[in-house]
A and B are shown apart, each in its own frame.
Chain A
């Protein structure tokens, strides 16, 4: 299964070249240069932008700086969504680098959660993992782990340590062979065009007859508008980690290999570019 392990690495090490520019109305003592950074797809904005913050704070007065937040083309970016999801959903068909605007004022309370410390990110990350395991294993696997194992998942993400993370995460990807898969698949489907935050429902990876459900089966069940009839022109893209997996891919395999570190499959439904 060497190829499958490669997928885990490709997912983990995916990066998005990003250009951070300070919002024009922020008060600076001198001109702020843009800051370029390769963002890990699997991480969270507030976890990986300490350097961005420092860079812009150097040209600002302390009193003009409060909580940092990020925006793309007028939309505040939710730091608690993985970076790769934000990019796929908002900017995947635009030219690189991804241009993000940095703000230090007027925090949009209605759109964003606060992130006063790394502890908040850790709590959110662990809550997602626990929710995912509640769906996959009725929480049995996560509950059997010790606190230090939970900590190792977080440290692996925070320090970009693939081996450290997967030493523990592999247990969350196991299931008893008789079952052929998890109890339910942890997934969320996002569409830029609707106001609904995301679709998340119960979905079994295996049919009663034993056949593996596919990505296409999932979409048909929970998001039928994403399925284009055979002879019609495809107007949408179903994207995970910047690629369009074949709809015939078993959802169990996708869950094991293309979930984010939070153990969820975050799937973007976006308009297909027309050029």
Chain B
């Protein structure tokens, strides 16, 4: 697969992060995390009404979406949650809801577990997540840190794939 050329992109300037209030005990391999879908209207190509997170048995219903279009939260650091846009690669199934609001401390592994449940993948099927279409972050990486360093236009774009796309 040809390696995509990385185009120029505007990076947000670094801002000091406010200290984290509470600490989660289970930091890395969290059970199915509740992610909040963003309210509809912003989706790509005529979305249906966004589903309210994982509907599999055993998963908790997600907390209500933090903001709706028109009531923007303060930008950047003060937010406990960040916006993530999930893009499918190759013949990986496309998620009906692509935009999600995710807690900063959510790990990549947590995200992988969520997407796998959402797409109804089996436990043995692998899922890879890429940042900038160039590297696969460690499963224990927090999305908040990735957003700080690789976010653009107020969101973190992540590509997901059932096979290794960018090595």
Binding site for B on A (CB under 8 A): 80, 109-111, 113, 123-124, 126-128, 130-131, 134-135, 138-140, 142-143, 150, 184, 195-203, 221-222, 224
Contact = CB atoms under 8 A, between A and B. Distances in A.
Interface on chain B toward A: helix, strand, loop, or mixed SS?
loop
Interface string B1-18: 001011011011110110
B138 to A, nearest CB: 6
Given A143-B3, A201-B14, A202-B13, A130 B148 contact: no
Contact of B134 (A143, A195, A222): A143
A166 to B, nearest CB: 22
Contacts, number: 77
B149 interface: yes
A131 B133 CA distance: 11
A80 B138 contact: yes
A134 B134 contact: yes
Specify which of A111, A135, A196 lies most central, judged by the most chain B CB atoms within 10 Å of its CB. Answer: A196
25 contacts: A80-B140, A109-B29, A110-B27, A113-B138, A113-B140, A126-B167, A127-B135, A128-B138, A131-B137, A134-B6, A134-B134, A143-B6, A150-B167, A195-B24, A197-B142, A198-B145, A199-B17, A200-B145, A200-B149, A201-B14, A201-B17, A201-B145, A201-B149, A202-B12, A221-B16
Contacts of B118: none
B43 interface: no
Closest 4 CB pairs of A and B: A130-B135, A202-B14, A195-B23, A201-B14
A57 B28 CA distance: 29
B14 A139 contact: no
Nearest to B8: A138
A200 B144 CA distance: 10
A203 B12 CA distance: 11
A109 B27 CA distance: 11
B136 interface: yes
B71 interface: no
B132 interface: yes
Contacts of A197: 27, 140, 142
A110 B29 contact: yes
Interface in B58-114: none
A109 B14 CA distance: 33
Nearest to A137: B6
Given A138-B6, A197-B142, A203-B14, A130 B27 contact: no
B123 interface: no
B7 to A, nearest CB: 9
B124 interface: no
A200 B148 contact: yes
Nearest to B4: A143
A157 B165 CA distance: 24
Given A131-B131, A196-B23, 5 more contacts: A126-B167, A127-B136, A138-B8, A195-B23, A200-B149
Given A111-B28, A221-B16, A127 B138 contact: yes
Contacts of A196: 20, 23
A201 B134 contact: no
Contacts of A124: 138
Given A113-B140, A127-B138, A131-B135, A221 B14 contact: yes
Specify which of A126, A138, A184, A203 lies most central, judged by the most chain B CB atoms within 10 Å of its CB. Answer: A138
Nearest to A112: B28
Nearest to A186: B149
Nearest to B109: A113
Contact of A222 (B13, B16, B29): B16
A139 B134 contact: yes
A135 B149 CA distance: 8
